[in-house]
Chain A
Amino acid sequence: MENERRLDLPNQTPRPEGELEELERVWATPRGWRIVTTVNNTEIGLLYIGIAFLFFLMAGVLALLMRTQLATSDNDFIGQELYNQMFTVHGTTMMFLFAVPAVEALGVMLLPQMLAARDLPFPRLSAFAIWAYVIGGLVFFSTILYDLAPAGGWFMYPPLTLKEYSPGDNADFWLLGIGFIEISAIAGAVEIVVGALRTRPPGMTLAKMPIFAWSMLIFASMIMFAFPAVILATMMLEIERSFGWPFFTAAKGGDSLLWQHLFWFFGHPEVYIIFLPAAGLVSMMVPTMARTPLVGYRLIVIALIATGFFSFGLWVHHMFTTGIPALSLAFFSAASMAVAIPSGIQVFSWIATIAASREKFRITTPSLFILGFLFIFTIGGLTGVMVAMVPFDFQVHDTYFVVAHFHYVLVGGMVFPLFATFYYWMPMASRNMLSERLGRWVFWLMFAGFNIAFFPMHLTGLLGMPRRVWTYPGELGWDTLNMISTIGSYILGAGVLLFVIDLIRRFRPGRGGPENPWQAGTLEWLPNDVYSTRSIPLVTSREPIWDQPNLADDVREGRYYLPNAPTGGRETIVTSPIDAKPQYVIRMPGSAWSPFLAAIFTAAFFLLLTVKFVTIALVCGVLAIAFCLVWTWPLDHGPSRGPVDIGGGISLPTYMSGPTSHSWWAMVVLMFVAGSLYLSYVFSYLFLWTVSPEVWSPTGSPALPGLPWPAASALLLLAGSALIFLADRLLPQPGKGRVAVPVAIFLAVACLVGSLGVELAGHLRTGLAPTANSYGAMVYMAAALFGQMVFTLVIFGGYTIARYVAGKLDRERRVTFDNMRLLYYYTAAQSLFGLMLIHGFPRLVN
């Protein structure tokens, strides 16, 4: 019977000699200094989570200093200006440098393991994103040491952050530094979306996908749509600070509320961007501890999707007191209360799973942190419903009640699950587990400390203590509550310190730790090494290890798919996004210096620009682009290797172009990001027109250029698109060449440049200046966004031509061309829409 079952498996044993050794060689970790060249998800994921945790510790120290300052009234332990910098850096670091990167790091580290993929599909992109974050983040945080840190709060509201009220480079560090780190987060999101949809193991349909993969898919999709809004906002604020384009200056038709809209369109989903992956982790741990499948898997998927959507309809609840009409507030109040329903579904599913436990629910350190999370997050959710009600929000807005609420949501909803994760998944990264005995101390110190620190803040808020004050007078009755909060914060800090001590004692990176110590049912607990699992299993249920008792042995022995490295390099199976049918084998790049160097020079470009070292910054920018090109040059390797046998009679191609290709998918994701950024621009344009129609052309600004100008610009866009279409048709068979192809691509790019030039020249001729008013600023901002795409396509077009000339582009080996073509068509479509908006809208409304 056993032998018959094994005969059904895709590959037979014994496997050929040397096969495992080749896998180990192909996936070997670089040694010594070359470790910085590694791109493997397990190694860079560990670095990612390690640095994110370092930021958590450093921002935590700032919190303790602030609590020390607030312990008593009229305290002068920290001065006002430094206190302002501290709460800004604390909030910014916790949100941008700890919370989002930490969950993204867990995605990079755990997702391939949960999907039994050898790696995520773009390992060098992950490495680039992580190094960019490490360098940019450390430089940003260090500004607090040199009195260079921003002091405008983590949300950087203008007009406080405009040049007049925040001179110096402090605010610029936030705008350029954080804007740059957001780009790194988007790079990670592209990786996760494509990874979750395309690198699942055969048989793992959407209905069998682990909840963490669902939550990471939704997390990454939310990043795609939320982050562009704040990227546009940071671009506009930096441009206003540097060049005086008045997007946010009311005297020139701008509006500081525009910043709030853009910021919170990102900022509120950001809360769920942080929470949903943490909820996904909880949904993975609870069934293991309860030794029973998750109750309401389907409902949790629904809750994740619904939360992801609804979270985009809540942003105005951060602006209830800004004078928006009552009916508008009611729309967002309703949505803010509605989002509690999917969150509640998840909480009840976890409770039901615990209640349905086959045996007694195991109380381990991860379980304790999960129970702590349930308690704290539920309280945070309830106060969230309170502040979703407009009259109550009016009373507690900008008070410590809000500080208490969001710490209950964020620390409860993210930090406690993260600590549970550290204890639970430690064998993925370390040879030793962490101490269960110390873990319980860590939990109780953190749980007690957190509640002692933050619960009294509800009361200090209700008593009227405002946020962001560096001290307070003694006669207001806030002293005792503040002292209790400070004591609680030190207890919380002691818990974290104990964790760090345990980490130093027990954490030893490497393989060889206990195998599936919790007897979990999901794929990351299969025997694995740097190459992930020896073979990629066929998945038939949601808890394969529970339902297929011999799965671990069969996978380890190589009886499932792709037990070897048939192309002699790194590879994994790409499956169809819904039914998870094998489609092709993706050949992935190995370790390289180029992503690391590209990240260093990208970071240098942004940071040097911040301190106005423009020439050196530009040199760094050029080097960053050069290293990106070096990194991508070998990726489009073509179909020369031919199909390979992965077992079970399945032979798969090793190259794929067109809509099935993973790089096509990545480009589509990137186009969604670009589209989201552009829609944020359209919103901004219409918003400012609504607020200040008097500065719009032709009454408040020079008349628009005559229609021949936009018509010429549009014709150039259409001509360029036609040339790209022609180049596609003319791509030759392998080994043949046609000079018309590079000429067509060159002319198409020239058309784009010409179109931008015509558009700019038309406005310049009218005498419109970007500094004159918000209308001028928006018109030239449209050109700036168009120029950004043109710049990208000039490089991309040149790169495509270079590949053609080098004989690396033809009708079959065409992924590079396909991506360039997609981006070109997108740019042309966006720019045509932009021409209609800029030249049509003012004419229409007049």
Chain B
Amino acid sequence: MKAGNDAGPVAGAILYLLIGPIVWAAHLLLVYGPQSALCAFRITGTAAVDPWLISVLVAGVTVIAMAAVGLTLWRPRRMARLFRFNAASDGDRSFVISVMRILGVLSLFGIAWAGATTLLLDPCAQLR
């Protein structure tokens, strides 16, 4: 054991590890925020956006988010270089990469599940 620093920047490693959940969170923010605001505008009369545009928005954001996570799953080592992630040993590196990939798979599932609802529901319908 020698004194020293990590093999790469810490922020890059954390971001790399959490790419999937971060994209999932961004997706939720970007579908829920605009959809609920645009529906509220219809009620307050601020703006009257066609509901199908809201559905397209949700679907579009979902496709982009899935593509972003899919890219990290497909090319994990290229993404690692992008985030300047490195670890001192092969074991630690493969640990972080596999954690990142499985988190990505879970996030992909979450994004698809939430986004798919736009295919089934009227974007501004009330249940009561």
Q: Establish whether residues A693 and B44, one from each chain, have CB atoms under 8 Å apart when the complex forms.
A: yes
Q: A581 touches which one: B1, B31, B54 (CB < 8 A)?
A: B1
Interface string of A92-126 (1 = CB under 8 A from B): 00000000000000000000000000000000000
Q: Which residues of B contact A325 (CB under 8 A)?
A: 35-36, 39, 123-126
Stretch of B63-71, B72-80, B92-100 at the chain-chain interface = B92-100
Q: Considering the complex, which residues of chain B in the window 74-128 have a beta carbon less than 8 Å from any beta carbon of chain A? A: 87-89, 91-92, 95-96, 98-99, 102-103, 106-107, 109-110, 113-114, 116-118, 120-128
B40 beta carbon closer than 8 Å to chain A? yes
Q: Which residues of A contact B116 (CB under 8 A)?
A: 334
Assess the B117–A341 pair: CB atoms within 8 A: no
| Cβ A309 vs Cβ B24 within 8 A | yes
| Complex alpha-carbon distance, A133 and B110, angstroms | 38
Whether B92 contacts A578 by the Cβ 8 Å rule is yes
Contacting pair A341 B106 (CB below 8 A): yes
Q: Which residues of A contact B124 (CB under 8 A)?
A: 325, 327
CB distance from B38 to the nearest CB of A (A): 9
Q: Are B103 and A302 in contact (CB under 8 A)?
A: yes
Contact A330–B117 (Cβ < 8 Å): yes
Decide: B39 and A577 in contact? CB cutoff 8 A. no
Give the residues in chain A near B54, CB-CB below 8 Å. 327
State whether the Cβ of A335 lies closer than 8 Å to any Cβ in chain B. yes
Is the pair A205, B89 in contact by a Cβ cutoff of 8 Å? yes
Residues of B within 8 A of A326 (CB): 121-122, 125-127
Nearest chain A CB to B51's CB is how many angstroms away?
9
Neighbouring B residues of A332 by C-beta, 8 Å: 32
Chain B residues within an 8 Å CB radius of A338: 106, 109-110, 113
Interface centre among A313, A324, A394 (most CB of B within 10 A): A313
* Cβ distance A690 to chain B, nearest Cβ, rounded Å: 5
Closest CB of chain A to B25's CB: distance in Å? 6
Residues of A445-499 at the interface with B, using a CB-CB cut-off of 8 Å, are none
Q: How many residues of B contact A (CB 8 A)?
A: 57
Inter-chain contact A206/B44, CB cutoff 8 Å: no
A323 touches B126 (CB 8 A): yes
Nearest CB in chain A: distance from B15 CB, A: 13
Grouping DSSP codes into helix (H, G, I), strand (E, B) and loop, the A interface class, with mixed when no group exceeds half, is helix
Which B residues are CB-close (under 8 A) to A548?
A: none
Cα–Cα, bound, A651→B4 (Å): 11
A576-591 vs B, CB cutoff 8 Å, 1 = contact: the mask equals: 1111011100000000
Check if A202 is an interface residue, CB within 8 A of chain B.
yes
Q: Are A324 and B36 in contact (CB under 8 A)?
A: yes
Distance A652 CA – B1 CA, assembled complex (angstroms):
13
B7 touches A578 (CB 8 A): yes
From known contacts A327-B58, A579-B92, A690-B37, infer whether A335 and B110 are also in contact, taking CB-CB under 8 Å: yes
Complexed CA–CA distance, A691 and B125 (Å): 17
Bound CA span A538–B3, Å: 12
Would you call B118 and A327 a contact (CB within 8 A)? yes
Within 8 Å by CB of A331, from B6, B25, B106, B114, lies B114
Q: Would you call B6 and A578 a contact (CB within 8 A)?
A: yes
Does A306 sit at the interface, judged by CB under 8 A? yes
Q: A330 touching B92 by the CB < 8 A rule?
A: no
Note all chain B residues with C-beta closer than 8 A to A313. Answer: 24-25, 28, 110
Given contacts A341-B106, A650-B3, contact A327 B35 (CB under 8 A): yes
Chain A interface residue count, CB cutoff 8 Å, equals 55
CB-CB contacts below 8 Å: A324-355 with B: 324-332, 334-335, 337-338, 341-342
In whole angstroms, what is the CA distance A582 to B1 when docked?
Answer: 8
Interface residues of B in 1-49 (CB under 8 A from A): 1-8, 10, 13, 17-18, 21, 24-25, 28, 31-32, 35-37, 39-41, 44, 46
Set of chain B residues within 8 Å of A330, measured between Cβ atoms: 114, 117, 120-121
**Which of B7, B92, B102, B120 is in CB contact (< 8 Å) with A207?**
B92
A760 in contact (CB, < 8 A): no
CB-nearest residue of chain A relative to B1? Answer: A202
Q: Are A309 and B127 in contact (CB under 8 A)?
A: no
A84–B28 CA distance with the chains assembled, in angstroms: 36
Please report the C-alpha to C-alpha distance between residue A690 and residue B41 in the assembled complex, in whole angstroms.
Answer: 7
> With a CB–CB cut-off of 8 A, which chain A residues contact B32?
316, 328, 331-332
List A contacts of B87 (CB < 8 A). 205, 578-579
Q: Is the CB of A394 within 8 A of B113?
A: no
In the bound complex, what is the Cα–Cα distance between A338 and B110 (angstroms)? 6
Please indicate the chain B residues that have their CB under 8 angstroms from the CB of A576 in the complex. Answer: 4-6
The answer, yes or no, to whether A622 is at the interface (CB within 8 Å) is no
Most A-side CB within 10 Å, residue of B25, B31, B106, B117: B106
Q: Which residues of B contact A202 (CB under 8 A)?
A: 1
Chain A proximity of B85: nearest CB distance (Å): 9
- A665-707 interface mask toward B, CB cutoff 8 Å, 1 = contact, 0 = none? 0000000000000000000001000111110000000000000
CA distance A305 to B100 in the complex (A): 10
The verdict on A648 contacting B1 (CB below 8 Å), with A206-B96, A335-B110, A691-B40 known, is yes
Q: In the complex, what distance in Å separates the CA atom of A334 from the CA atom of B107? A: 12
Given known contacts A205-B88, A302-B102, A330-B117, is B36 in contact with A581 (CB within 8 Å)? no
* Given A207-B91, A309-B24, also A650-B2 (CB < 8 A): yes
> Are A581 and B5 neighbours in the complex by a CB distance under 8 Å?
yes
- Please give, as numbers and ranges, the residues of chain B lying within 8 Å of A334 by CB-CB distance: 110, 113-114, 116-117
A313-B28, A578-B10 given; A341·B109 CB < 8 A: yes
Given contact pairs A299-B102, A334-B114, A323 touches B6 in the complex (Cβ within 8 A): no
A817 within 8 A of B: no
Pairwise interchain contact A305-B18, C-beta atoms closer than 8 A: yes
Does A729 interact with chain B (Cβ within 8 Å)?
no
A165-213 residues with Cβ-Cβ distance < 8 A to B are: 202-203, 205-207
Most buried by B among A202, A324, A651: A324
User: Would you call A329 and B1 a contact (CB within 8 A)?
Assistant: no
* CA gap between A538 and B106 in the complex, in Å: 34
What are 6 contact pairs spanning A and B, CB under 8 A?
A302-B106, A321-B128, A325-B35, A327-B123, A578-B88, A691-B40
Q: Please list the 4 inter-chain residue pairs (A to B) with the smallest Cβ-Cβ separation, ordered nearest first.
A: A330-B117, A309-B21, A207-B95, A579-B88
